[in-house]
Chain A
Amino acid sequence: MEGIKREEILRLLEENARYTVKDLAAMLGLEAKKVKDEIAAMERERVICGYHALVNWDKTDDEKISALIELKVTPQRGDGYERIAEKIYQYPEVESLYLMSGGYDFTVILKKATMKEIASFVSSRLAVIEEVQSTTTHVVLARYKDHGIQLAENRKDMRMVVTP
C-alpha cells in the first residue's frame, strides 16, 4: 500500500470532480476508504473548497456578460489590504478577487450580469469605497479556455481503430 497522495488526489479532482472515490482509489493504487477519508479531511481543512461544473455560457441563450475590474486602492495603516478585500468580496456579485503585484492592486471578476448591472455595481458599490482610487472595467468578449479546458473544441479521437 502506497502512502496517501494528496497532490495526486487534488490534481485528479481538479481535472474531473466527478471521479468517484472508487475510481480515484483504483487510479492511485490506494484503498477506497483512505481516499474517502483524505478527501473529507481536505474538505474540512478548506484545501478543497467546492466542486463546480465548468460551463460554457456562450453555448446557452444567456446574454449576460463577464467583467474584470482593475482596482487601485490606498491600503490602510494596520490592516493592509485585508479590510478592503473584505469590503469587496462580501458582495455576492463578486465571483473572484485577487490581490495583484504590478500596476494595480485588485482584480475583481464579477459574476455574469447585464451591462447595466455591472455599471451600477462599479459606480455605486466599488468606486465609492473610500480606499478605492480608481477602477478600470474590462468586458470579456470571448472565452477560449478556462480551468485548463479548451471550451469550444470537441476533441475527437483521430487515431485509427486498431494499430499495431
Chain B
Amino acid sequence: MRDFINDKIKRIKPSGIRRLFDIASEIPDVISLGVGEPDFETPWHIREEGIYSLHKGRTFYTSNSGLLELRSEIAAFMSRKYGLNYDPKNEIIVTVGGSEAIDIALRAVLDPGDEVVYPEPCFVSYEPCILLSDGVPVPIELYPGTEFRLTPEQLEAAVTPRTKALLISYPNNPTGAVMDRRDLEKLVPVILKHDLLVISDEIYSELSYKERHVSIASLPGMRERTIVINGFSKSFAMTGWRLGFVCAPEGIAEYMLKVHQFGIMSAPTMSQYAAVSAMRSGDKDIDIMRESYNQRRRFLMECFREIRLPCFEPYGAFYAFPDISEFGMDSENFCEELLKAEKVAVVPGSAFGACGSRHVRISYAYSIEELKEAMSRIARFVKERRRTRRSPGRAV
C-alpha cells in the first residue's frame, strides 16, 4: 500500500508536551502547575445564556461570520477596551477559539515560501500553522535579558525580502511577558519600512497586571495592516466553549472568511449566545478574576524569591517562566525529574521553542493552597539538587 500521508504533515513535530502529559497522566496524585487555562468555571450568567439558547431550540447554524448580535458586542468591547473600531458587518469573524483564528489568518495571507517572523518562546501552534500554510517559519529567539520583549533590532535582523508577516502574542504564553505602548511603538518603523502584515494574538489581553493592554493595531498606521486575534477562553474562562474572534480590515477579513466558511461553516451557536452575555455584562467578572490571578502571581514570585529561583517578573497571562539552567539539566529533563521526585507537573520551556530550554513554564491558574503545596515540593526538589550538585561525588 502507498504511504497516504502528506509529506508536510509528516515533517511537523508532535507537540513537545505530549510526552510529559503521558508520564504525568499515569502518576496518581500529581499536582499540576502545567495547565494553560483558567481554573475558574465560566461565570454562571454566561453558562445560563448557553443553557437558555438550547432551551429555546437555537440549535442551528449562524451566519458564517457569527451572530451579528455577537459581532456588534465584540465591536463595542474592542472599542471600549482598546480604542479599536471595527465594523461588525464585515471586519469581525467569530471563530472556533483563537486557534482557528491563527490558522485562517495565516492561510488567508501566505503564499508558498512567504516567511513569517515570530518571537519564541511562543504558543505551540504558530510554527505548525505556518508550515501548513506553506509558509516559512522564522523564529526570533527572545531571552529574559530583554524581558522576552521583541526589539526593533531583532525584528530588523530577522526580516528578509521574503518576509510577509510578523506574528506576535502579548501578554505572552509561556513567558508572561507584556509589551507596553512604547515597546510596540518602536517596532512600527521597521514594520512600515518592510511593508509587513502583523498578526497579533491578544488572547491574554485582559490579563495584564501592570498597565492596561495596548493593541498594536491601535498605533498610527497599523490598523490597516494588522489582524487582531482575541477570544473568550482566557478572559472569561470559556476554554471549552471553543470561541474566539478575529478583527481585520475588510480587505483581509473577507478572505479569512472564505477559509473559515469552507473549513468550519460557523462557530458553535450555543457558545455564541453565551458569549453575548459575556461581552454585555462580563467586565466585572474579568476584574474579579484578574485581581485573583494577580494575587497568585505575586504569591508565586515571592515563593521564587524565597528559594532563589531566578525568574523575570511576568506582568501578563497566568504564567511564570523561571530559569532552571543552574541544575545542569535541559527543561525536559528537569520536568521529568521533578515529576518523578515530587509529583509536580510543569511544562518544559523547550515545548515553546528551542530557546526556552533553560526555562520551565509554571502556571498560576491554581488556588493559593495548591500553589503553596506545589511550591513546597519544588523547593524541596531544588534544595536537594543544589546539594547533590555541590558534592558531585555523593550518590543521589
Contact = CB atoms under 8 A, between A and B. Distances in A.
A154 interface: no
Interface in A20-55: 23, 25-29
Contacts of A160: 21, 35
B302 interface: yes
Contact of A164 (B32, B124, B302, B368): B124
Contacts, number: 58
Interface string A151-164: 00000010111111
Chain B CB count within 10 A is highest, among A25, A27, A157, for: A27
Interface in B279-314: 291, 295-296, 298-299, 302-303
A12 interface: yes
Contacts of B108: none
Contact of A162 (B21, B173, B298, B303): B21
A27 B347 contact: no
Contact of A28 (B36, B298, B351, B372): B298
Given A19-B368, A26-B302, A164-B17, A159 B295 contact: no
B299 A159 contact: no
B36 A161 contact: no
Interface residues of B, number: 29
B30 interface: yes
Nearest to A30: B298
B31 to A, nearest CB: 10
A19 B371 CA distance: 13
Contacts of A25: 302
A164 B345 contact: no
B123 interface: yes
B24 A161 contact: yes
A12 B21 CA distance: 33
A8 B292 CA distance: 10
A164 B99 CA distance: 12
Interface in B341-359: 345, 347, 351
Nearest to B99: A164
B319 to A, nearest CB: 11
Given A162-B17, A162-B20, A162-B24, A27 B296 contact: yes
Chain B CB count within 10 A is highest, among A16, A160, A161, A163, for: A161
A27 B21 contact: no
A162 B173 CA distance: 14
B299 A164 contact: no
A49 to B, nearest CB: 24
Given A23-B368, A26-B302, A27-B368, A164 B36 contact: yes
B325 interface: no
B388 interface: no
B73 interface: no
Interface string A125-164: 0000000000000000000000000000000010111111
B154 interface: no
Contacts of B299: 23, 26-27
Closest 8 CB pairs of A and B: A26-B302, A27-B295, A162-B34, A162-B21, A164-B124, A26-B299, A161-B24, A163-B36
Interface of A: 8, 12, 16, 19, 23, 25-29, 157, 159-164
26 contacts: A8-B291, A23-B368, A26-B298, A26-B303, A27-B295, A27-B296, A27-B298, A27-B299, A27-B368, A157-B39, A160-B35, A161-B21, A161-B25, A161-B30, A161-B34, A162-B21, A162-B34, A163-B17, A163-B35, A163-B36, A163-B37, A164-B15, A164-B36, A164-B123, A164-B124, A164-B347
Given A162-B20, A162-B34, 12 more contacts: A26-B299, A27-B368, A159-B32, A159-B35, A161-B24, A161-B30, A161-B35, A161-B345, A162-B21, A162-B32, A162-B35, A164-B123
